[in-house]
């Protein structure tokens, strides 16, 4: 019988369930661990350094998921395993018998995912499960993008900013970083497509990339004006519902019937487009991903697939709970 450590016994006896504990418990139930592990397993090393057995694949996957869901660095999630009983239980580490995987081991695991393009496959695997549960209907798509800041400092070895990032102006404010472009299912609000670009890339240039090809209608804000006329969208029979520019409405007489009707139409469009803000909210506020953690678009794009895949699970949790005959987690 495995000996229980004092910290684990104390954690099990506590009376209050913390928000982090509830969050990780929900995530543990939602993530399709076996399906995700099956994607990684063919590329996972069969032996560790100096002939020692490698750390278990599911444990490393759990550590990687916890890191992204909690918005922590490699060192941060290693420390969290030692500091937090809820994180330790989620990852599956018993400190009475073993040490936690260190930050370097997690770095190697993340590089393995990046090298083989596995984070996109994990994203697709999550979505395949959600689609089989009836969450993705594919009749309509909402497209949008959000800026994610990158470190603007030049106080580094190269004495330069990340060359793959770029500055962009939004309103009167300048930002330096990248853009996360997403295509969202109009019915469920779940993300089906993710594209990462430098921050100065115009939203409309990625419109074609954000369509899966089966939608009948696409919704977008005024940044996508002109999308239907772009060459890359030739032959795609999609009805575009794009928001009118504010200046167009302001030019109309305040009390004209046409302006009243147009404002009502724009309000209806906006209520539909609002769903695209939900995954952005989960990634930026719940997962605390407001700033790019890595240098280069490749690494950050790989992380975005993970983040939006996990965001889809969080957004679909009530539907999945009902589908399995339970209440919302």
Residues ≥6 apart with Cβ < 8 Å to 199: 147, 150, 165, 166, 167, 168, 175, 176, 177, 178, 179
CA terminus-to-terminus distance, the chain: 32
Same domain, 148 and 68: no
CA distances from 325 to 24, 25, 134, 319, 329 (A): 21, 18, 15, 10, 12
Average pLDDT across the chain, whole number: 88
Same domain, 89 and 143: no
Same domain, 207 and 278: yes
Helical residues (DSSP H) of the chain, grouped into ranges:
6-13, 19-30, 33-40, 57-70, 74-83, 85-91, 103-115, 118-132, 246-250, 257-273, 277-281, 297-315, 317-323
Q: Any bridge partners for residue 172, and if so which? A: none
| Residue 227 domain-assigned (yes or no) | yes
Same domain, 192 and 283: yes
Same domain, 245 and 102: no
Q: Domain with 221 in it: what CATH number?
A: 3.30.420
| Residue 315 domain-assigned (yes or no) | no
Same domain, 197 and 239: yes
Same domain, 98 and 144: no
Same domain, 97 and 199: no
Same domain, 36 and 158: no
| Closest of 227, 223, 200, 188 to residue 211, by C-alpha | 227
| Residue 280 domain-assigned (yes or no) | yes
| Residue 69 domain-assigned (yes or no) | yes
| Residue 36 domain-assigned (yes or no) | yes
Beta carbons of 63 and 90 less than 8 angstroms apart: no
Same domain, 108 and 194: no
Question: For residue range 169-227, what is the model confidence (pLDDT) as tens digits?
Answer: 777 888 899 999 999 999 999 999 999 999 999 999 999 999 998 999 999 999 999 99
Residues ≥6 apart with Cβ < 8 Å to 71: 287, 288, 289
Same domain, 142 and 288: yes
pTM of the entire predicted model = 0.89
Considering its fold, how many domains does the chain have in total? Answer: 2
Q: How confident is the model at residue 327 (pLDDT cuts 50, 70, 90)?
A: very low
* Backbone angles phi and psi of 255, in degrees to 5: -105, 15
Which domain, by its residues, includes 266?
Answer: 138-294
Structure confidence at residue 329 (pLDDT) = 44
Same domain, 103 and 187: no
């Amino acid at each position: 019988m495995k000996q229980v450590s004092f910290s684990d016994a104390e954690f099990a006896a506590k009376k209050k369930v913390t928000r982090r504990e509830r969050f990780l418990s929900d995530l543990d139930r939602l993530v399709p661990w076996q399906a995700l592990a099956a994607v990684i397993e063919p590329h996972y090393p069969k032996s560790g350094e100096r002939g020692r057995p490698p750390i278990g694949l599911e444990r490393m996957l759990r550590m990687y998921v916890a890191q992204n869901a909690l918005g922590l660095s490699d060192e941060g999630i290693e420390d969290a395993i030692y500091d937090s009983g809820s994180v330790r239980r989620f990852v599956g580490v018993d400190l009475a018998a073993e040490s936690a995987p260190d930050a370097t081991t997690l770095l190697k695991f993340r590089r393995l995912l990046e090298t083989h393009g596995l984070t996109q496959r994990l994203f697709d695997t999550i979505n395949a499960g959600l689609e089989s549960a009836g969450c993705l209907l594919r009749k309509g798509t909402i497209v949008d993008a959000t800026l994610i800041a990158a470190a603007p400092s030049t106080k580094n070895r190269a004495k330069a900013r990340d060359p793959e990032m770029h500055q962009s102006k939004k309103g009167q404010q300048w930002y330096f970083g990248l853009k996360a472009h997403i295509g969202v299912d109009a019915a469920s609000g779940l993300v089906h497509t993710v594209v990462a670009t430098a921050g100065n890339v115009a939203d409309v240039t990625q419109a074609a990339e954000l369509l899966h090809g089966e939608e009948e209608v696409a919704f977008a804000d005024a940044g996508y004006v002109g999308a239907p006329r772009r060459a890359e969208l030739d032959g795609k029979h999609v009805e575009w519902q794009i928001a009118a520019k504010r200046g167009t409405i302001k030019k109309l007489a305040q009390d004209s019937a046409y302006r009243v009707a147009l404002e009502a139409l724009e309000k209806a469009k906006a209520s539909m487009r609002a769903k695209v803000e939900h995954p952005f909210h989960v990634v930026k506020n719940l997962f605390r991903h407001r700033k790019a953690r890595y240098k280069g678009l490749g690494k950050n794009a790989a992380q975005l697939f993970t983040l939006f895949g996990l965001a889809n699970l969080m957004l679909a949790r009530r539907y999945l709970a009902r589908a399995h005959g339970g209440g919302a987690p």
